[in-house]
Structure 1
Amino acid sequence: MRNILLCAAAAASLAACNNGNSTGKGTGVDSAVNQAFAAYQQHFIDDLWKENPGWATSVGYHKYDSVLVVRNEAATQASLAFSARHLDSLKTFHLDQLTDANKIDYHLMEDYLNSNVWSIKELKSNEWDPSEFNISGGFATILNENYAPLESRLRSFYARLKNVPAYYEAAKAQVKDPVPELQQLAIAQNNGGASVFDKDFVDSLKSTNFSAEEKKAMTASAQAAAAAMRGYANWLSALKPAHPRSFRLGKDLYDQKFRYTVQSSYTAAQIYDSAIVRKKYVHGEMTRISRELWPKYFGNAPMPADSLELIGRMIDTLSVQHVKPAEFQSAIEKQIPELVKFIKEKDLLYLDPSKPLVVRKEPAYMAGVAGASISAPGPYDKGGNTYYNVGSLEGWSAVESESYLREYNHYIMQILDIHEAIPGHYTQLVYSNQSPSLIKSIMGNGAMIEGWAVYTEQMMLESGYGNNAPEMWLMWYKWNLRTVCNTILDYSVHVNNMSKEDALHLLTKEAFQQQAEAEGKWRRVTVSSVQLTFYFTGYKEIIDLREAYKKKMGNDYKLKTFNEKFLSYGSAPVMYIRQLMLQ
């Protein structure tokens, strides 16, 4: 669950860019139809932002910053009408007359609209997931991003505040029989996010030239918003549903959610089966490397006969190399320039030096889900910061901190930085901002995004990062096993009713994770579904595509060309990118 919102090129150039990205040469392609489709895409985007002003703000489109939609029955019906209207509009275009690039955009819009209808009519998560109601992220974006003068942003913030109390009253009217784990998450996040209003916003007012009366009115409104958030959290704390919903999604809903959100050529069950096969392969490689390393670290001591015990002993021995708790964030900051240097030396892909990456402590309103994440600016705010959010270890016991840092040891921390930052999420999102297709960016595919980050880990090691040290490869396989087991865990828990005991056994004994990490992953799987499969699914599809592309290009194959060409299509599903790269 990442705070990643996908971005795109300026809307004014949409039609020209789409035509430029069109590669279809079929006899049925009609230029007039494609021009009409480009014009429709612009209309769709305009309508999308009116319907989803919070989403617009998150991608850097600030026309509707002052608007907060109250998620009541009227808003639900408006959302259904939006989907119905645009599904009808899409039917006026014939796929065989569109270019390949526009066919992808057609499918992405169609999938989004159908997914929206399915979410409202069948998933109905607004009834059982109270954490969906949390307004602090959008407000924090307005407050923290320097896309406009501070006073202008504060006025938008202030105007947006008026609907906050009604927003949370609507939330209370919808939530019934909530999932207990999601109930607790909502309480923590809303209590944490309230400080955006009665602290951060109020502090920002001190730097303005607003009159005393204006500041007083703005402060009062912000305090009312904070009170509404805390009031919602208190209401949830007192809520004792007679029949709380299980966090397990169930096979039918899971299969449908996987189809809509992952957009893979595989089914959820097929990906699960592939993950089981991959786990066996990775265990074999880890056994081979552990046997190679054993004499170096254990001398003539007897080697365990059980392969999992052997691997575990080697990982435990290497994991003692880690930073101190207080140095976790600073160590990450120091690693970033080294990654940039390596990529330039190996000429793996172009890195834009004009796009800032800021390492920061994870904001309070994001707490409780993942220990590290990337928050990227939108296409309409290309100069904005990209944040590398790092979870804090403040308040952790010595035992908890040691367990966590053994998980994110000297080797794993480097892999984490590759995944989250360079050339992983941060780099992919920079390219996504430059994509010639607005639709491909805002309807971005999570499996492609996560898959790219996992792929880059392997790509960096294959290119010599870490000097081919067996220790680094062993730890990467451990990390890759985590990706594999994410899929196994998610499917097993939500479809096959895996118990917590069995889940922790999978993570600690078969994936060699520290207890604190495994407990955190269990919490994550109880407050999310399907997203944990993104990593392995996307990774598998990208590796398969690279091999097919390498075969196609023969002696002309270059890794840099593959990497940059793949990223040039924006955050589209890998199966669609594959069609374009191999045609």
Structure 2
Amino acid sequence: MRKIYLAAFSIVFFICCSKEKAADRNKAFEHYRKSFIEALWINFPDYAAASGFHKYDNVLVVNDATTRAKQLAFIKSNLDSLGNYDEKSLNPGNFTDYKMMGNMLKSYAFGMEEMKSWEWNPAEYNVSGPFAEILNGSYDFLSVRLKNISLKLDEVPAYYAAAKQNIRNPTREHTELAISQNTGGLSVFEKDLPAMLEKSDLSAAEKDAMKAKTASAVNAIKDYVSWLQKLDNPTPRDFRLGKKLYDKKFEFDIQSAYTSSQVLEKAVAHKKELHEKMFVIADRLWSKYLGTAPKPSDKNQLIRQVIDKISLQHAKPELFQQAIEKQLPELLAFIKQKDLIYIDPSKPLEVRKEPDYMAGVAGASISAPGPYDKNAKTYYNVGSLSGWSAAESESYLREYNDYILQILNIHEAIPGHYTQLVYSNQSPSLIKSIAGNGAMVEGWAVYSELMMLENGYANSDEMWLMYYKWNLRSTCNTILDIGVHTKNLSKDDAMDLLINEAFQQQAEAEGKWRRVCLTQVQLCSYFTGFTEICELREAYKKQQGEKFRLKDFHSKLLSYGSAPVKYIRELMLEKQ
């Protein structure tokens, strides 16, 4: 009997010691993680400001050889430090952070040493955004923010001097974007900053000093724009990334359980499924919109003709932003009625005209506060149609017709990006917010569109047909992006895909071509994240059985912040 007691005591003692050692290892990792974040902000102060951490707002990083060497040393040192931790000994939350930190550092190193976009993308150099964010912030007194801006202004000439030194054989497309965005961003320094300066309680001497610095910054920006316009570059770099670089970037940016080739295969199959569903609905709606007109034998042509008729229902150009603002309370009311997800009413959302320095890539977007600035406003940026021709405006508004505009608002705002990013900021782990995974962020927004319609939102054949058209967008985004950057898909073939298979308007298709020329991989995040979240929901539903509740699924999914879906899946399906 005594031997049995001793054996039992030994087992308990061993378990207790193991638990204590695991706790110590996790505490050590958490201490390191804290110091890692502090050092991260020192090396990447603009990233810190975007996350709501404003201690280094007075610093403007000049991207020269010295800075890159310093940043690479930080990256490699911390990759070595991560190697000191046994990932299997970490608890689930720390394990996910460990993986995300490693991915972040490797992604930075890849960008600096292999992709080297700082050499061929002149649009990476633009000071307008960081200055505007400080200027429009509400996290401190205006005088404090202006003093930070004053110190930051000192480095603007050196910033653009380094840019000119770095750029070698840039792409034509990124050069044009840099000229456009830097020119648009001048308003921050010529209009916005002087207006705020006059409102401030800074002394006359301080104001005069800032005016002189601002004038110097404006000259540096104009000089950079002029330099780009005159740049002798007879054989510009191809904007296409190529398969080798693309696959690496896909791995770092998407962090999917699937490779880019597997995602492409899924997207092609999904496109076929959507076409079949759309034909059934379009065929049913034919007589309603086209009367007794003969039906075309080509199924896609039939779908296209019905969509074209429905698309005539849209807002007027001057009322486009108002139409968006009007719909947001309606979406919120539906979510409350159906009890789909909790949305914190204390987190402000404001619809605004897209700032000029952001223009030229996406027509609608969300600018969300970081985890350090949780109560600041989230901005829904809406592209302006001013200056567009009547034909361009009509094409754009047919794309964002009365039905699709509702889906856009679900995606960008409620319960899409705005909602998910509010949850992400509440995550107890800063890493899951500041190193947020784009496929989770975009995937949730795409998933939320389907989820709302599944639960009866604006239920009609027209809405479902337009939803499937919209869902084709994220599906074809993936086919387009991988095709263009790894398979040399031509513009003609890309336009055929977007117009004849995704049923997009000419203006939308032209805009998407422009976007795929300027970005890489990001267009895959929508479909990839959507696919993985839908697969996770089905697996979780099967595991929970009768206990499954949709609102509980959403709350648990979003509680992990913006971690990659493949890690969230492991945590949610972990056996208790």
Is the 1:262–1:534 contact (alpha carbons within 8 Å) kept by the matching residues of 2?
Answer: yes
Structure 1 counterpart of 2:210, one-letter code = M
Match of 1:233 among 222, 225, 235: 225
Structure 2 counterpart of 1:514, one-letter code = Q
Determine the structure 2 residue equivalent to 1:469. Answer: 460
Match of 2:503 among 502, 512, 515: 512
Distance apart, 1:117 and its partner CA? 1.2
Distance apart, 1:576 and its partner CA? 0.2
Alignment of 1:200 with 2:192, yes or no, is yes
Is the 1:195–1:226 contact (alpha carbons within 8 Å) kept by the matching residues of 2?
Answer: no
Partner Cα distance (1:72, 1:298) in 2: 62
The alignment partner of 2:433 has SS state of helix
Seq. identity, %: 58
Partner Cα distance (1:484, 1:240) in 2: 39
Distance apart, 1:382 and its partner CA? 1.8
Distance apart, 1:564 and its partner CA? 0.9
Distance apart, 1:450 and its partner CA? 0.3
1:25-424 → structure 2 map (5 Å cutoff): 30-424=22-416
Partner Cα distance (1:296, 1:193) in 2: 48
Alignment of 1:484 with 2:472, yes or no, is no
The alignment partner of 2:561 has SS state of coil
Partner Cα distance (1:245, 1:276) in 2: 30
Cα separation, partners in 2 of 1:77 and 1:298, compared to 1, 3 Å: same
Structure 2 counterpart of 1:252, one-letter code = K
Q: Choose 1 or 2 for highest CA Rg.
A: 2
The alignment partner of 1:206 has SS state of helix
Cα RMSD of the aligned pairs, angstroms, is 1.1
Determine the structure 2 residue equivalent to 1:430. Answer: 422
Partner Cα distance (2:59, 2:335) in 1: 42
Higher relative contact order (CA 8 A, sep 6+): 1
Structure 1 counterpart of 2:419, one-letter code = T
Alignment of 1:546 with 2:541, yes or no, is no
Distance apart, 1:246 and its partner CA? 0.2
Distance apart, 1:229 and its partner CA? 1.2
Is the 2:491–2:513 contact (alpha carbons within 8 Å) kept by the matching residues of 1?
Answer: yes
Match of 2:567 among 561, 576, 582: 576
Partner Cα distance (1:211, 1:86) in 2: 44
1:530-545 → structure 2 map (5 Å cutoff): 530-545=521-536
Partner Cα distance (1:54, 1:342) in 2: 38
Structure 1 counterpart of 2:523, one-letter code = L
Cα deviation per residue 1:526-576 (whole Å; 9 max; x = unaligned)?
Answer: 001100000000000000000000000000101101111100000000000
Structure 2 counterpart of 1:159, one-letter code = L
Partner Cα distance (1:250, 1:297) in 2: 45
Is the 2:475–2:527 contact (alpha carbons within 8 Å) kept by the matching residues of 1?
Answer: yes
The alignment partner of 1:66 has SS state of coil
Partner Cα distance (1:148, 1:210) in 2: 15
Alignment of 1:521 with 2:515, yes or no, is no
Determine the structure 1 residue equivalent to 2:15. Answer: none
Cα separation, partners in 2 of 1:215 and 1:455, compared to 1, 3 Å: same
Is the 1:198–1:219 contact (alpha carbons within 8 Å) kept by the matching residues of 2?
Answer: no
Moved more, 228-237 or 474-483: 228-237
Partner Cα distance (1:517, 1:299) in 2: 28
Structure 2 counterpart of 1:531, one-letter code = Q
Cα deviation per residue 1:35-61 (whole Å; 9 max; x = unaligned)?
Answer: 111111100000000001111111111
Moved more, 240-249 or 160-169: 240-249
Q: TM-score, normalised by structure 1?
A: 0.94
Alignment of 1:495 with 2:486, yes or no, is yes
Partner Cα distance (1:229, 1:110) in 2: 36
Structure 2 counterpart of 1:64, one-letter code = Y
Match of 1:440 among 432, 441, 444: 432
Distance apart, 1:214 and its partner CA? 1.6
Distance apart, 1:274 and its partner CA? 0.7
Structure 1 counterpart of 2:497, one-letter code = L
Cα deviation per residue 1:254-285 (whole Å; 9 max; x = unaligned)?
Answer: 00000011100111111011100000000000
Distance apart, 1:27 and its partner CA? 7.3
Partner Cα distance (1:522, 1:28) in 2: 56
Determine the structure 2 residue equivalent to 1:5. Answer: none
Stretches of structure 2 lacking an aligned partner (at least 5 in a row): 1-17
Is the 2:314–2:401 contact (alpha carbons within 8 Å) kept by the matching residues of 1?
Answer: yes
Determine the structure 2 residue equivalent to 1:22. Answer: none
The alignment partner of 2:562 has SS state of coil
Q: TM-score, normalised by structure 2?
A: 0.96
Structure 2 counterpart of 1:374, one-letter code = I
Is the 1:377–1:384 contact (alpha carbons within 8 Å) kept by the matching residues of 2?
Answer: yes
Partner Cα distance (2:284, 2:514) in 1: 36
The alignment partner of 2:351 has SS state of strand
Partner Cα distance (2:247, 2:20) in 1: 34
Is the 1:247–1:526 contact (alpha carbons within 8 Å) kept by the matching residues of 2?
Answer: yes
Cα deviation per residue 1:339-397 (whole Å; 9 max; x = unaligned)?
Answer: 00000000000000000000000001101010000001122222211000000000000
Is the 1:87–1:113 contact (alpha carbons within 8 Å) kept by the matching residues of 2?
Answer: yes
Cα deviation per residue 1:231-251 (whole Å; 9 max; x = unaligned)?
Answer: 111111111213310000000
Is the 2:263–2:528 contact (alpha carbons within 8 Å) kept by the matching residues of 1?
Answer: yes
Partner Cα distance (2:102, 2:396) in 1: 42
Cα deviation per residue 1:468-508 (whole Å; 9 max; x = unaligned)?
Answer: 20110000000000110000000111111011111111100
Partner Cα distance (2:441, 2:54) in 1: 25
Stretches of structure 1 lacking an aligned partner (at least 5 in a row): 1-25
Distance apart, 1:198 and its partner CA? 2.2
Runs of 4+ in 1 over 6 A off after TM superposition: 26-29
Is the 1:145–1:385 contact (alpha carbons within 8 Å) kept by the matching residues of 2?
Answer: no
User: How many matched pairs?
Assistant: 557
Is the 2:371–2:433 contact (alpha carbons within 8 Å) kept by the matching residues of 1?
Answer: no
